Chains A and B, each alone.
Chain A
């Protein structure tokens, strides 16, 4: 223990803490066992006077570590955020008195709980140092936007409006993307009744006139290296020249390609020029420019048109899209209006299975009905191109019969295929498979063939691969459930149809969100602080070189690609990219990775400091390692709502379940804990884990803990890994209570002494 450390403990008696707990006893424990050199009690610690009490000790007594034994770390954050010292919050309110019923028979075990939390707080304090900011921070606040469609242009404009500079890179010779190729767009304003002007031309013009936005046309990103605040990006143009620019954060708005309709031969695409996809119809509409649309084969004015929804989408056929692209129903409605508005006598039928009109599409749909667009629920089997007219064969699902209808023109509503670059994970797996010399690679080839672009978008110079990892169906990874735009590459945000299918209105919103995220990331990076979700955190991981065995586990398991290897094979932490989740710390078998304020010891010493009663007392002790993002708040809120849970649990918040190192579990078992619960976020494709892979890693690691249990001759049921959501304020306490019951059934740990 370093000499200059001076720990003080402050015990609050407010919020009924004084009435429910023997605070003198707590003070005693802090002093005797916790080695706090200053111990104070106060009736209202978060008041100005209470905080002043702490301040005085810092100023006059040289206190460096303040253990605040009061409410949860999630409450009164402003009052207790004291500069210059490390603050350790000990949760006596939500964690103890609110979690326990106020009854005589519970008094003793409630007090024991509080005693332990004070011991734990002081133990943590002994091993925590106040972190300083990353000194190698880059300070570029320019934002690079890749893709000049509606998403990219919106992002660029929003960033510029916020006062930041933008570099906008577009592959094509002009801005606008798909939106620029539309004759009109689906309405974005009240009364959502008629197609509207896309206003792309005005948007392009205002971007060109914007001093803060520099546009590179016919350009791609040749190489991206660095980290938030200091990305270095090579922009290559078609002419062969390359410029290198710095950027603080990156937005990937690379959009989508249309599904290739020639893969639907039964729909007549390619057989007759009168079968077009929606993009094809936009082209015809642009030509007609408000006049009658002509059919391509002979220029005859179209008198009847049929729209086939979900063409090659929401399909389980090989090579077709299994998902819904979300915009196409509204798009067909809009295109049907192109005809009806030119001449209401033109027969327009939309054959759909489920008409999905997100946003304000319902009003738009209604108006199309008013215009006598015929909507019919059916399943199209084929489009016959033999005669002069097209014949659409389908099953009417309402009238339950197979029928057909004739048309001059058929429009196929095909879907969006993300332009998301290389599937880095599939590549990595294929590589591994190749190295292993087995045939598992063939599966990967299949999944690779589904994505259209094999060219990389970002050409990241990362050991983890050239692009953002993909989630489902080849869409770029984004924190789909909780934090859209967030990706596994810090400071790089995906927005628009590259991360999920969407229409113009949604893409606009998406781009605005991503713009704000990118600015925030650049600002945080410049201050040497972490990005979301530990936004503002100054700590970062370091490792003890002497102990490192170069096993590479940290490099592989870091979800954010923040660790490279140096020439000698040691991990090379890239602090700008690090999100401070601690997954590397959890992965390290020799435990050499730590943060100043979060380490193997800060948690290990806490769990060791708990007073495990001897076996005759029949009081089990359960260690709960709860994710601070969702599980811990859920328990706090449960207690606030009067949902009590067992007084035998001792909860320690962790940054992410991924940061849980096996040693904590082993130590806890050796100390005589009867059971251990890991509580984290949902894993899998619809993950809620704030650090994407942390919860998954923890589940994986814990599945291997059985060996340890066996060695110790303990039952496998003593360690449990659970998934909870932040809203589980009934379920989370119930899970704990169930676990305690289960432990009572198995019996107490034989390791007590």
Chain B
């Protein structure tokens, strides 16, 4: 695939569309969008990101590979499903958005600074390590995501809630050093490895 904004000859041709169809979850729906703009008008995140779904789908058809894959749009989707219920063409828009995010991530070209993406990565790392989500680590990780001072400030702001949770046994302070895992977490590792292997093989990634 071209590295700069797709070469002239590829504009409005089927190359990138086909790539999306083959690699992105529900990607073969993209061609069915009729550009009505209902999703763009329905999305609560609309004003906060680069391109609403309507534009993303048109960009795919226009062959704007790099711009689409590096966009922060699909990372901003909160899965509210507003667009899906309203799309007159019944596109599974939310799923396509997540599919695109996943694809861009696997290719290693996804938006770098987008906080949702970083949080997603953090969550993944956390949960796959022991097979169980460690809430304390996740929340602290989230607080300290934007630097040490920010982390202290956020932690202090949440202090009361933290103490309340501790008092009712909803928060295990030892989790910080020794999180509770699940039985056979090594098997989870193996399962995931195999799954990646299969996916890589099927989709031709070389991660």
Contact = CB atoms under 8 A, between A and B. Distances in A.
A372 B58 contact: no
A297 interface: no
Contact of B61 (A366, A376, A403): A376
A372 B14 contact: yes
A263 interface: no
Given A398-B54, A399-B55, A304 B13 contact: yes
Most buried by B among A366, A375, A404: A375
Contacts of B14: 345, 347, 372, 374
B40 to A, nearest CB: 10
Interface string B17-61: 110000000000001101100000000000000000011001101
B62 interface: yes
Given A372-B14, A375-B35, A399 B58 contact: yes
A374 B8 CA distance: 16
Contact of B59 (A355, A377, A399, A406): A399
Interface in B50-105: 54-55, 58-59, 61-62, 64, 89
A372 B8 contact: no
Contact of B17 (A372, A377, A405): A372
Contacts of A376: 12, 58, 61-62
Nearest to B59: A399
Nearest to A406: B9
A43 interface: no
Contacts of B17: 372, 374
Contacts of A304: 13
A174 interface: no
Interface in A358-382: 365-366, 369-370, 372, 374-377
Contacts of B8: 404, 406
B12 A398 contact: no
B118 interface: no
B17 to A, nearest CB: 7
Nearest to A346: B14
A396 B34 CA distance: 14
A355 B11 CA distance: 21
A349 interface: yes
Given A372-B17, A399-B59, A405 B31 contact: no
A372 to B, nearest CB: 5
Contact of B55 (A365, A370, A372, A398): A398
A370 B58 CA distance: 15
Nearest to A398: B58
Contacts of A396: 58, 62
Q: Is the interface of A mostly helix, strand, loop or mixed?
A: strand
Given A374-B61, A396-B62, A398-B58, A369 B12 contact: no
A374 B59 contact: no
B56 to A, nearest CB: 10
A557 B102 CA distance: 75
Contact of A398 (B18, B31, B35): B35
A366 B12 contact: no
A212 to B, nearest CB: 47
B35 A369 contact: no
Contacts of B61: 374-376
A404 B7 CA distance: 12
Contacts of A365: 34
A369 B31 contact: yes
A377 B58 CA distance: 9
A399 B68 CA distance: 12
Interface in A323-368: 345, 347, 349, 355, 365-366
Interface in A384-442: 396, 398-399, 403-406
B141 to A, nearest CB: 37
A13 to B, nearest CB: 58
Contacts of A404: 8, 11
Interface in A300-315: 304
Contact of B11 (A345, A369, A375, A403): A403
A403 B55 CA distance: 16
Contacts of B13: 304, 347, 374
Contacts of A345: 14
Contacts of B31: 369-370, 372
A659 B18 CA distance: 69
B32 A405 contact: no
Nearest to B58: A398
A345 B89 CA distance: 25
Contacts of A349: 12
A372 B31 CA distance: 6
A88 B12 CA distance: 72
A337 to B, nearest CB: 14
A377 B12 contact: no
A316 to B, nearest CB: 24
A406 B13 CA distance: 10
Contacts of B59: 399
A219 B11 CA distance: 51
A354 B192 CA distance: 48
A388 to B, nearest CB: 13
Contact of A405 (B12, B58, B64): B12
A376 B12 CA distance: 8
Nearest to B21: A372
Contacts of B32: 366, 369-370
A372 B16 CA distance: 12
A396 B9 CA distance: 16
A121 to B, nearest CB: 57
Contacts of B9: 406
Contacts of A375: 34-35, 61
A404 B59 CA distance: 14
B110 to A, nearest CB: 21
Contacts of A374: 12-14, 17, 61
A346 to B, nearest CB: 10
Nearest to A403: B11
B79 to A, nearest CB: 24
A365 B88 CA distance: 14
A404 B34 CA distance: 21
Contacts of A369: 31-32, 34
Nearest to B61: A374
A653 B142 CA distance: 82
A355 B34 CA distance: 9
Given A355-B34, A369-B32, A376-B62, 12 more contacts: A347-B14, A365-B34, A369-B31, A370-B32, A372-B14, A374-B12, A375-B34, A377-B35, A396-B62, A398-B55, A403-B11, A406-B9
17 contacts: A355-B34, A366-B89, A370-B32, A372-B17, A372-B18, A374-B13, A375-B34, A375-B35, A375-B61, A376-B58, A396-B62, A398-B35, A399-B58, A403-B62, A404-B11, A405-B11, A406-B9
Q: Please list the 8 inter-chain residue pairs (A to B) with the smallest Cβ-Cβ separation, ordered nearest first.
A: A398-B58, A405-B12, A347-B13, A349-B12, A405-B11, A369-B31, A369-B32, A374-B12
